[in-house]
Structure 1
Amino acid sequence: MKEKTIQFIAAGLVMMLFGITMVVVGTINNYLTVNFGVDKFFIGFCASVLAAGILTGSFSFGPLAERYGYQPVMLGGVFLVILGIWGITQTETVRFVPYLFFAIGLGGGSINGVTNMLVADVYPENNSAYLSLLGVFYGIGALGFPLLTSLLLKKEMDYQTILSIVAIILFLPFILVLFITFPGTKKAEAIPLSQYFKFFSKPLILSIGMFLFFESAVEAIIPAWTPTYLMEVFEVSYDKGLYAITVSAIGITITRIFLSQLLKRLSAITVVFISMAVVLAGAIVLQVSTSWLMGMAGIAIIGVGMASFFPVMLGYTASAFPENSGTAFSIVIGISLIGNILLSSLAGFALEVLGIKLLNLLIIAFVLIMTAILSMVKHKILSR
């Protein structure tokens, strides 16, 4: 097996842990409620702490990976995710739980960034295609963790045992990364803090970051609010509403498999423009839907459209800043997470005040803004 292929497989297995990171609060909130007797406020606080950890890991991984290499950052990130999950199963004191969620987030943010950075470095000619394929592993983790937990709970296995099993399984990518050779470091010394902050003044970095700022918000709004939309508009049960999350995630995951080939044949920026048209079409279908099934189709179409955004824009970032791809990745991913947090909170307030039917208008507005930003990104990339 080629060395590049082994490195990609290792990156994919590690990326699965980031998928787990993104759904860990929702998957184990019942365990926290039953075991510690916490309320919804505490669960929400843990979700915020997790997000803060992801944001910290995202902004810091790039300079560290450029200085010390891919392997230490990946190993450290995997270890933090394992430590957090294992710690939650072992601690008997609830006050430690937020710290453990921060550790999970810090590790997850780091491995998300460093695996994307590695794949972009290993496949510089077709980085968007391989980054799309890497995103499939994220989907497997995000879908597989709650599914495995649900199946084992049905077998009357307790949460503590399930999470302990998951933590042990996660040692497999840790061991794999430990014995693999990765490309060398890009810099002999750490990037100065002043130089790091200068990247925030680069128009191309800011343009890509702002595109992902709105993209990440859409990606957060869909699983957060489409179940409620289906329940209120079509008056379906909670269980039926939750199918929206699965349908959207499957749409993104499956589409990324095909994108890994499509992006080798078509211009990446053309694919993104088409993808935004697909998202708009999905939002319109959802808006005019007269049944739950038609609404689900609209959500699935939105998922298909969103699949290309993140890998393609990270591919652009790597191509534009090949010598500082880690630092550039840190900044654009960090900006995207800020958008995720701020705009999803703003959307929640707007939907609460103005009604759930505003959801489609928000999605359409964000995508139109993304279209304008992408036009600027295209101009800046072509003029470099």
Structure 2
Amino acid sequence: MNNYRKNLVFTAACIGMCFFGISMITLGSVLPALTTKLALDNLQATALVTFLPLGMLVGSLVFGPIVDRFGHKALLVPSCIIVLLGMEGLSFFSSIPMLQLSIICIGFGGGILNGETNALVADISNEEEKGSRLSLLGMFYGLGALGIPTLLGVLSKHYTFETILQGIGVIMLAGIFYCIPIRFPAPKQAQGFPVKKGLGLLKESSLLLLSFILFFQSGIEGVCNNWSTLYFGQTTDIPANQALVALTCMVAGLTVARMLLVILFKKIKQETVLLCSLILTAIGFGLLTFSPGFIRAASGMVLIGAGLASTFPVILSILGSRYASLSGTAFGVALVIALIGQTLLNSLMGIASQNIGIEIYPYMMIASLIIMLFLFKRSLK
């Protein structure tokens, strides 16, 4: 029998999720300084950024079968190391090919950690605590994502971004050393991965319905991150610095809501929480319409972040219960579809803003939420 201490394993998962938050935000935070340092033009900078989602997609594709066959420890510690090496590469390398390799490492390790940590927490949690534990795990994504720009903002007056990243790397290394000696749950398919059964998941209508909810969820988050400041700049009188503050409000709203969900999931059905959250998100986007001022825009972004907070914990909790024997693979399918959704909705937003106008942004997001609501209702039948 494989004996492990649940709290120690959960802490390791939270460290991994924090690494994922760091992997998602580091490049964007240092890109202006990196562009200045290497005298990159917009095309070269854009070319660098495209390697992050590429690495994430590959990481999300490979982690599931490996986790189900070899166990969680086989990936959690190595993927943390890969993220750390990639992040340090941004501080040490000036060669474009080496920077591209570093960015692929950040995305690849982050893509693995996103699925791996969620699958791990789902596996060690009973049915009653799955939702709340996954919400608490998600909070650590927010801590990692908020921590990097905060530290860079505070310390950049005194240190270069390279020195700051190297210092953060020391802290991350301490987290890796914590994870190394911990005993993790045994592999679910230790005798060999059932390829036929794994491929059979692609035909599961329930898995696909739930995955396409994450398709739109991830797309909405991506569009919010990439288009909100541009929307405020072109449709309102909100200054650029206040537009960035409003964007930060979304991440803050999401992080705080994940803390509250730990309690809410113990008292209210997770299905009810998700339905209310989708309505809350729609209200948030409603506040962004008709040229809002800063207060209304910031309030709307807080509601959007808070409303989006429950979708991943609820959907992954349901997936973890329905596909317990191949949870890693099921999570991998769902997260790949989610990443595709983020790419496609961003592209669609670009096309729509070019042909119709950026004013379409909040309405397009509300339409996406209505589709999510319809899909979720179907998945419960």
TM-score range, shorter chain: over 0.9
Residue aligning to 1:178: 180
Q: Which amino acid aligns with 1:128?
A: G
Which secondary structure state, in structure 2, belongs to the residue aligned with residue 287 of structure 1?
coil
Q: Aligned partners of 2:238, 2:356: CA distance in 1, in Å?
A: 21
Q: Aligned partners of 2:114, 2:292: CA distance in 1, in Å?
A: 39
1:91–1:290: structure 2 CA closer, same or farther, 3 Å change rule? Answer: closer
Q: Aligned partners of 1:49, 1:74: CA distance in 2, in Å?
A: 22
Q: Which of 147, 151, 164 is the equivalent residue of 1:148?
A: 151
**8 Å contact kept, 1:64–1:190:** no
Matched, 1:132 2:143: no
1:92–1:232: structure 2 CA closer, same or farther, 3 Å change rule? Answer: closer
Displacement of 1:193: 4.4
Q: Which amino acid aligns with 2:150?
A: L
Displacement of 1:135: 0.5
Q: Which of 337, 348, 351 is the equivalent residue of 1:349?
A: 351
Residue aligning to 2:380: 378
Please, which moves more after superposition, 56-65 or 311-320? 56-65
1:194–1:50: structure 2 CA closer, same or farther, 3 Å change rule? Answer: farther
Matched, 1:362 2:364: yes
Q: Aligned partners of 2:290, 2:131: CA distance in 1, in Å?
A: 34
Which secondary structure state, in structure 1, belongs to the residue aligned with residue 25 of structure 2?
helix
Q: Aligned partners of 2:126, 2:336: CA distance in 1, in Å?
A: 22
Q: Aligned partners of 1:189, 1:106: CA distance in 2, in Å?
A: 27
1:88–1:267: structure 2 CA closer, same or farther, 3 Å change rule? Answer: same
Taking the TM superposition and a 5 Å limit, the aligned residue runs for 1:1-384 are 3-125=5-127, 126-155=129-158, 157-288=159-290, 290-379=292-381
Q: Aligned partners of 1:262, 1:101: CA distance in 2, in Å?
A: 37
| Partner deviation per Cα, 1:130-165 (whole Å, 9 max, x = no partner) | 10110100000000011111111022x112211111
Displacement of 1:73: 0.2
**8 Å contact kept, 1:58–1:330:** yes
**8 Å contact kept, 2:198–2:326:** no
Q: Aligned partners of 2:19, 2:361: CA distance in 1, in Å?
A: 30
Q: What's the TM-score, normalizing by structure 1?
A: 0.95
Which secondary structure state, in structure 1, belongs to the residue aligned with residue 266 of structure 2?
coil
Displacement of 1:194: 4.5
**8 Å contact kept, 1:227–1:243:** no
| Partner deviation per Cα, 1:198-224 (whole Å, 9 max, x = no partner) | 211110111111110011000111121
Q: Aligned partners of 1:280, 1:80: CA distance in 2, in Å?
A: 37
| Partner deviation per Cα, 1:102-139 (whole Å, 9 max, x = no partner) | 11111001111111111111112221111011010000
Q: Which amino acid aligns with 1:90?
A: F
**8 Å contact kept, 1:77–1:108:** yes
Q: What's the TM-score, normalizing by structure 2?
A: 0.96
Residue aligning to 1:382: none
Which secondary structure state, in structure 2, belongs to the residue aligned with residue 180 of structure 1?
coil
**8 Å contact kept, 2:238–2:293:** no
Q: Aligned partners of 1:147, 1:235: CA distance in 2, in Å?
A: 26
Q: How many residues align?
A: 377
Q: Aligned partners of 2:319, 2:379: CA distance in 1, in Å?
A: 10
**8 Å contact kept, 1:256–1:307:** yes
**8 Å contact kept, 1:57–1:110:** yes
Q: Aligned partners of 1:319, 1:236: CA distance in 2, in Å?
A: 45
Q: Which amino acid aligns with 1:145?
A: I
Displacement of 1:197: 2.7
**8 Å contact kept, 2:60–2:336:** yes
Displacement of 1:354: 1.6
Q: Aligned partners of 2:21, 2:284: CA distance in 1, in Å?
A: 24
**Percent identity for Structure 1 against Structure 2:** 32
Q: Aligned partners of 1:265, 1:235: CA distance in 2, in Å?
A: 42
Q: Aligned partners of 1:143, 1:303: CA distance in 2, in Å?
A: 13
Q: Aligned partners of 1:115, 1:83: CA distance in 2, in Å?
A: 19
Q: Which amino acid aligns with 2:263?
A: Q
Q: Aligned partners of 2:191, 2:99: CA distance in 1, in Å?
A: 36
Which secondary structure state, in structure 2, belongs to the residue aligned with residue 154 of structure 1?
coil
